[in-house]
Amino acid sequence: MTTARYARLLVQINGAVPVALLTFAAWRDRLGYNPSAYLLRTSGLLALIFLLLSLCVTPLRRITGRNFFSLFRRTLGLYAFFYACLHVLMYLWLDQGFDLLNVPADVWRRKFILLGMLAFLLLIPLAATSTAGMVKRLGAVRWKRLHQLVYVAAAAGVIHYALRAKVLETQPMLFVVAAGVLLGFRAVWGIGGASHSRKSAGRVG
């Protein structure tokens, strides 16, 4: 196994650790005093963490000058999508009792959910076009432009989390700050902008 393949395998395996532990805890009925709230919060937190980790790849590449980290981006992004799916499923089940007809009205009335849903919907085309084949079919430039939607998804996701809290709380604010730094990095370095160099076309920040 090459170093590159091994490194990617490491990320693939580790991304599954939280869902494995969460499933085990659920099976043992160890989800705290309020299992519904815990499942909703934990799945959402994991989605945001993997989304922000995937946004760390380009800054790390720029700072270290090594392309090594790009190996992890797709895996991290797909895990973000996976945990976001889990989070939406928990919302539909635990918050809405699978009353799907009521969901559009609920999403509209509760604006923090509207933002969260926006983030989730934006991740769908990104996950669907995550294969190398899709990069070819779309062409690197168009693919890259499409995948800039991840910036909007990340911003919507962390604001969704911050607005959900009843009062200003520390942890959601840390996520907002982290997303702000990661997106601000791109604004300052001009990554993802039209003036981006050709050399790394196809490797969206």
Partner 1 sequence: MNGNIPAREITPRETFLSRRRLLQTLGIGASVAATGGVYAWLADPGPSPYRTSGRGPREGDGGGAAVSMADTLTPPETFTHYNNYYEFSTDKRDPALLAAGFKPRPWSVTVDGRVAKPRTLDLDQLLSLAPAEERVYRHRCVEGWSMVIPWLGFPLAALLKAAEPLAGAKFVAFTSLLDPARMPGQKSSVLRWPYVEGLRMDEAMHPLTLLSHGAYGEALLPQNGAPLHLVIPWKYGFKGAKAIVRITLVDTQPATTWNLYSPADYGFYSNVNPSITRPRFSQRFEDRLGETVDRRPTLAFNGYAEQVADLYRGMDLAKDY
Residue ranges binding partner 1 (CB under 8 A)? 1, 6, 9-10, 13-14, 17-18, 21-22, 25, 29-39, 42, 45-46, 49, 94-97, 99, 102, 105-106, 109-112, 164, 166-169
Closer CB to partner 1, 49 or 127, in the complex: 49
Distance (Å) of CA 57 to CA 28, 64, 105, 167: 36, 11, 37, 32
Distance between CA atoms of residues 57 and 158, nearest Å: 18
Distance between CA atoms of residues 153 and 149, nearest Å: 6
Residue 127 neighbours by CB distance under 10 Å? 16
Closer CB to partner 1, 102 or 131, in the complex: 102
**Residue 164 Cβ, how far from partner 1 at the closest point, in Å?**
7
**Residue 154 Cβ, how far from partner 1 at the closest point, in Å?**
18
Closer CB to partner 1, 18 or 77, in the complex: 18
Residue 62 neighbours by CB distance under 10 Å? 16
Instruction: Tell me if 146 sits within 8 A of 135, measured CB to CB.
Output: no
**Residue 56 Cβ, how far from partner 1 at the closest point, in Å?**
15
**Residue 166 Cβ, how far from partner 1 at the closest point, in Å?**
7
